[in-house]
Chain A
Amino acid sequence: GGSSSSTAASTPASTPAGSTASSEAAGGAGTDYKIAVVPKMTNIAWFQRMEEGVDAYNEETGSDIFYGGSAEGADQASYVESLLAEDWDAICVVPFDVEAIGPVLQKAKDQGIVVITHEAATIDAACRDYDIEAFQNADYGANFMEQLGTLTGGEGKYIQFVGALTSVSHNEWCDAAVALQEEKFPNMECLGRYETGDDTTVAYNQTKELLTANPDITAIQGSASTDVVGAAQAVDELGLTGKVQIVGTSMTSIARQYVESGTIASFSVWDPAEAGKAMIEMAIATLDGTVEDGMSLNAEGYQDLAEVTDGVFYGNARVDVTKENLDDYDF
């Protein structure tokens, strides 16, 4: 909708109520803005970590930020829809489906609510005020291939797992990885992209099947946090630790064992807790009208934010976790 872009422009000049609130916030008693943080879904560990971040933020600053969402990602849009019954100052959303949430967010903006998104660089700019990304998806995906290429010496076949073929970011990572491989490791060959449904068992069974049929696989790239774990278990059981390299996104809490045993060479992650904080900070900055290029948020990995295009800020929040720094990222 064209009408809402004007709203987007006018939002930073916040309501009078907003500005009094912000002065109080500056007084150290936390923010009085009414802000909601909505995760993709509540029933996975990743977003429980984000909740920890929001809780920590509330504790540190004495504010009362609301954190809540639908159990299933598919219901996120209607959850946000029902939130709109209240008059929020800002809503921070990690969209489950960027397109699906768009119209609802637009309604929020029409009501004068500030909308901050995360993991949603592709979302229609009209649907939100700002988007914060932990990193550039292309860089993130290329990093996996960089590691795999180095570990395998640029030889052999590799497979890619995605949580769902419908997942945008997973596919972007994979695309970037393939692009880098074609350019830098021409001797490697991508066997295909397979869906795991965020299910360890599926990743495990698929890995076994694919390895049995293609013994020349040397590398596996995972996207959903369970992918590398399922793959690692299969590789481990088949006695291929060290022969098949595994990298991907995961979390220490679920991948620790295989990182320690070396089956997973390393995994990358960004801390959802910090992302949660960053969104809240960004929302406050927007309400206060202090958003600017190169700004720093009070969240690790989100300093020196450069606005790339049309309200998308990229942080540098990716951490590569290996055996050595495993304990530093214990979530």
Chain B
Amino acid sequence: MNKLKTKSLLTSTQMILLYVIVAFCLVVGIRQPAFFSPATVITICRAGIFTMCFALCEMVVLISGGIDVSFPAIGCVAMYVPMYIINRVTPIDSALFAFGLAILIGLLFGLLNGFLVSILRLPPLIATLATSSIASGGVVTLLGTREFTTLPDSLQAIYNTNIITYTAPGTGFTYLLNVLFLVPVLACLGVAWMLRYTMLGRGLYAIGGDKNAARVAGFNVRRLQFFAYTFSGVLTGATAMMYTVLMHSSTTSALMGDEMIVIAACVIGGVRITGGHGGVLGVVLGVVLITLVQNNLNMLGIPTSWQTFVVGLIILLGTIITSWQAKRSSHGKA
């Protein structure tokens, strides 16, 4: 029995992911020794901030048995409206206002998603597609599209706060890790705790596993679905404002198209698209792998025009491996 458990541990989705990550790093490192440096860690951490946060949103929704493809649009609205107000209406120089409004917007659209899915019982993919169209179409129609690139001082102050400053000995380059990196870290810990140690979290797994069973067990299915989508909306709002801070940019299209990579990160991390399975650790690894791949293809020497293809290939293979893995694990009967 014990042997069996260690064996299944060694071939679990997370471990396989880890092997792949290590192998990828080795290959890149061999081609490009500069890769093996603390700088790489910082760079990956910095580059993965948004994907990680969005992946957490998506994971919670996927676990509950839904899917959310509206977060890029919601994020764009959430980053655009506050900056629009600050730049064009009244110059409110307050980080609290910017983040507060972004989160509020995320919350509202999250509630809309929740309403469509749990009250009207529309299929999640279609419902969130609709929300996506409504959000991005609505905001551009009302407020137009501009690009805001100057931050008010309060947000600039956040941008200037770093938790790690590393100077590479050879080149003298400085690598900075912004304080906002703590957000995904804390969010991961928080979500992991929530999923494991609260009835809310277990309820999400329950409704993702079998909605009817959850209903007869006395779970409030609607409330749990509402929670999943509003949680996703809120974290999306916050992440979008982080994007504005870190990238000095707020547009109505900055995040569009991100859902593909984020869903892929979740699935590679062992979250099943059919609901009820997956956890934070796997998703973190999935995000790490995807971020690594996205940001090191030049180092690997892949020609630019082939990079889309290579990313696609790796994601497809990752999906195939994890799906096959999931099938194997649910087949062993006891």
Contact = CB atoms under 8 A, between A and B. Distances in A.
Do A and B belong to a common assembly? yes
Interface in A215-234: 215, 226, 229-230, 233
Contacts of A233: 247-248
A165 B305 contact: yes
B121 interface: no
B249 A192 contact: no
Interface residues of B, number: 40
A239 B247 contact: no
Contacts of A208: 43, 47, 295
A48 B143 CA distance: 12
A199 B34 contact: no
Contacts of A193: 304
A68 to B, nearest CB: 12
A302 B251 CA distance: 31
A92 B291 CA distance: 42
Contact of B32 (A192, A213, A230): A213
A171 to B, nearest CB: 12
A253 B149 CA distance: 7
A215 B171 contact: yes
Contact of A199 (B167, B254, B305, B307): B254
Interface stretch (A39-47, A264-272, A284-292): A39-47
Contact of B173 (A192, A212, A255, A256): A212
A316 interface: no
A200 B249 contact: yes
Nearest to B296: A209
A84 to B, nearest CB: 24
A239 B149 contact: no
A204 B149 contact: no
Contacts of A211: 173
A257 B155 CA distance: 14
B145 A213 contact: no
A212 B40 CA distance: 9
A329 interface: no
Most chain A CB inside 10 Å of its own CB: which residue of B170, B249, B296, B305: B249
Given A44-B145, A204-B247, A209 B150 contact: no
B146 A212 contact: no
Given A195-B304, A237-B176, A257 B145 contact: no
B149 A255 contact: yes
B202 to A, nearest CB: 36
Contacts of B247: 200-201, 204, 230, 233
B146 A165 contact: no
Contacts of A44: 145, 147, 251, 253
Nearest to B151: A257
Given A212-B39, A213-B32, A257 B298 contact: no
Given A213-B32, A239-B174, A194 B149 contact: no
Contacts of B140: 42-43, 71
B138 interface: no
Nearest to A255: B149
A206 interface: yes
Contact of B47 (A199, A205, A213, A229): A205
Given A237-B174, A237-B176, A254-B149, A43 B252 contact: yes
B172 interface: yes
B123 interface: no
Contacts of A253: 146-147, 149
B312 interface: no
Most chain B CB inside 10 Å of its own CB: which residue of A206, A230, A238: A238
A165 B296 CA distance: 19
Nearest to A251: B147
A210 interface: yes
Nearest to A71: B140
B213 to A, nearest CB: 42
A65 to B, nearest CB: 18
A305 B253 CA distance: 36
A238 B299 CA distance: 18
B175 interface: yes
A240 interface: yes
Nearest to B40: A212
Contacts of B175: 237-238
A229 B149 contact: yes
B173 A215 contact: yes
B144 interface: yes
Contacts of B147: 44-45, 226, 253-254
Interface in B269-324: 294-296, 298-299, 304-305, 307
Contacts of A48: 144-146
Interface in B28-56: 32, 34-35, 37, 39-40, 43, 47, 50
A238 B42 CA distance: 12
A212 B145 contact: no
Nearest to B252: A43
A236 B251 CA distance: 22
B249 A240 contact: no
Contacts of B251: 44-45
Interface of B: 32, 34-35, 37, 39-40, 43, 47, 50, 140, 144-147, 149-150, 167, 170-176, 243, 247-249, 251-254, 294-296, 298-299, 304-305, 307
7 smallest beta-carbon distances between A and B, as pairs: A239-B174, A215-B171, A254-B149, A45-B147, A238-B173, A43-B145, A200-B249
23 contacts: A43-B145, A43-B252, A43-B253, A44-B145, A44-B251, A45-B147, A45-B251, A48-B144, A165-B305, A193-B304, A195-B305, A199-B254, A200-B249, A204-B247, A205-B47, A209-B298, A229-B249, A233-B247, A238-B175, A239-B172, A253-B149, A254-B149, A256-B150
